[in-house]
Every structure is written in structure tokens, then in C-alpha cells.
Amino acid sequence: MLCGPAAFAQQAVDASGPIDLRAVDPEATLVEELVVNARLPGPAWWKVSDADTTVYVLGVPAMTPSKLEVDESVFKRRVDGANVLIMGQEADVSVVRIVGLALGGKRFFITDKPMRQTLPPELRARLEARLAIMKEKPDAMDDVKPAFAGFLVANAGEGGDVSIHLGGVTDRIREIAKGKDIEKRPRIQSLPGYSLVDAVKSLGAAPQPLQELCLDAGLRQAENGEGGVAITAERWARGEVRAVVSADRGFSRCLASTPAIARTLRSGQTDAVKAVTAALNTPGKAVAVIELRSLLAEGGVLEQLRAKGFTVTTPGE
């Protein structure tokens, strides 16, 4: 975690031997003492404070269904009268661009050799089984690299329709902060995000170990199905942090293991630390909404804030 971004990129792209992808992923390892289930109703909150200011931090999962029952009482109470609502880094999901990538993205991932011939037997068998469920022929993805196949199987249902589960919770949070139920509405500060489509495109040049990781991650997401996303989201809504962070990460693990996206994720952590630090300069309270693994990772948002000397309080305290 102490190496610079360029070193990570060099290792992942140029290494001639085995590649330790965990060294690239900025969200692979979490700080165990920060992974604490909630005491109050609803999702878990952390607090970052100094002598005269408290920033209430809500960690949110990367993927959630569009409709999710969540106890909003704690959020409404904390955002009412807050100086600022900080909305952390999010993936920009354009349905038009996602569909366009699914239909025409092969040009970024053309392979010289039939893709299934490059795969370990177990991974090939899982891909063929998933293609059968999708009512596709075994060779349907032989002309593309494994990473793109992973993206397609992760986000395509049995009928082949693309389905992306992102942003439902944060959209609702913005609605609440702007709504009439809040007596004193906060200023909303949205931190820079990144394009999910561009992130997937960047995988075209990934080395074979990362290509296979991305296919495995996509297959895991497909095998868990929408039920897996829903169960994880429901656990988050009940404040069951340990269960949420231990759930399979699906295709997001692939993206976080890609040097270009890993740099973007670290940039998002840096932006969040700067925004929370700035909020602590104004007496009173503020609220921040940050992706859960980015919040809890080693070298992540909470660790960086604690290193600056601020007090970090977990949901169990």
C-alpha cells in the first residue's frame, strides 16, 4: 500500500512472472477494528470529530437494487442542520453507454486465439455453463478477451438484457437532503466520480492473469445473481457491516485490481479525506456518504483521517 500508483501499474502490466493482484487493489484488505456492526436502527455510521465538529459518515455498498427498504430516521436527523452533505466518489452509469458497450464493445477486446482455449479447465467449464443458462452457444464469446466476457456475464440476465445495480441508495439520499422533511437543508458537495464504461474499456490491455480474474469475478456475480445483490443490500440496511464486506465483490473486484481504476479509487479516497477535513474546520456537524470498502480499507478514508489526528468512532461505540 506504500508504493506509488506508477509502481502498481508497472507491476500489473509488465511483470513477466506471477502477478500479485492484491497489491494493486486498494480495497482488498480492510481494517478489522473498523468493521463493526451498527447499534442504531438502519445502516451503520462512523464518526470523525475534533474539538468542535462531528462528521457523521455513512458507508454504502457499491451495488444495491433500485428498490430497497431502509430505515431513514437516523440519516434525516443527522443531515438536518448539517453544514454540508459530502457525496463520495461514484461510478457514472449511463444506461445508453452501458448498452452500447455491451453491444459494440468487442472492438476493445478482440483476441487472436479463441478465448476458451486460453482458460484453465475449471474457468472454461464455468463460462460454458453460464453461456448455456444465457441460451448462448459455448463459442459465443470466443472472439473476445476474458475480461470483457466477465463484464457481459456479470451484467446480463438469462435473456441477455443488461442490468446494472448502482446508485439507488445515493440517489435516495440526495432526495432526502433536498426534501421538505428537512428543516435546515445542507449544501451538497459531490466529489468527482469515474466512468464505468471507460473503466471497463481500460481492461482491454490487461495481462492474462487479470483477464482471468475479471472473468472469474464476472462469473461469481452472475452465479450469485440479483438475489445475492439484494441479500447483501438488505444486510447493509440492517447495519450488518461484517456480512456486507465479507460478501463476494463480483465484477467490482476486477475493476479495483486494474491499475488505472485503482489509481482512480485512491484519488477518490484522497478527495474524501480532503472534503471531510475541510468540513471539520466549520463548527457544528456534517454528513459524508462514502463507498464502504473505500471507507474501511487499509490506507483508506478512515485510516487517513485518523492519521491526521482526528477521532474516529465506530458504529459500536
pLDDT tens-digit readout, 177-224: 999 999 999 999 999 999 888 999 999 999 999 999 999 999 999 998
pLDDT tens-digit readout, 68-94: 889 999 999 999 999 999 999 998 877
| Contacts for 143 with CB less than 8 Å, ≥ 6 apart | 106, 110, 111, 114, 115
pLDDT tens-digit readout, 252-306: 999 999 988 999 999 999 999 999 999 999 999 999 999 999 999 999 999 999 9
The amino acid at 90: E
Helix residue ranges per DSSP H, the chain: 5-14, 73-79, 95-104, 121-133, 146-155, 168-178, 196-201, 208-237, 241-246, 251-256, 259-279, 292-296, 301-307
Query: Mean pLDDT over residues 34-63, rounded?
Result: 94
pLDDT tens-digit readout, 167-177: 578 989 999 99
pLDDT tens-digit readout, 8-29: 233 333 333 445 555 689 999 9
What is the value of pTM for the model shown? 0.87
- Per the CB < 8 A criterion, the answer to whether 279 and 46 are in contact is no
What phi and psi, each to the nearest 5 degrees, are found at residue 47?
A: -130, 140
Query: Mean pLDDT over residues 119-129, rounded?
Result: 97
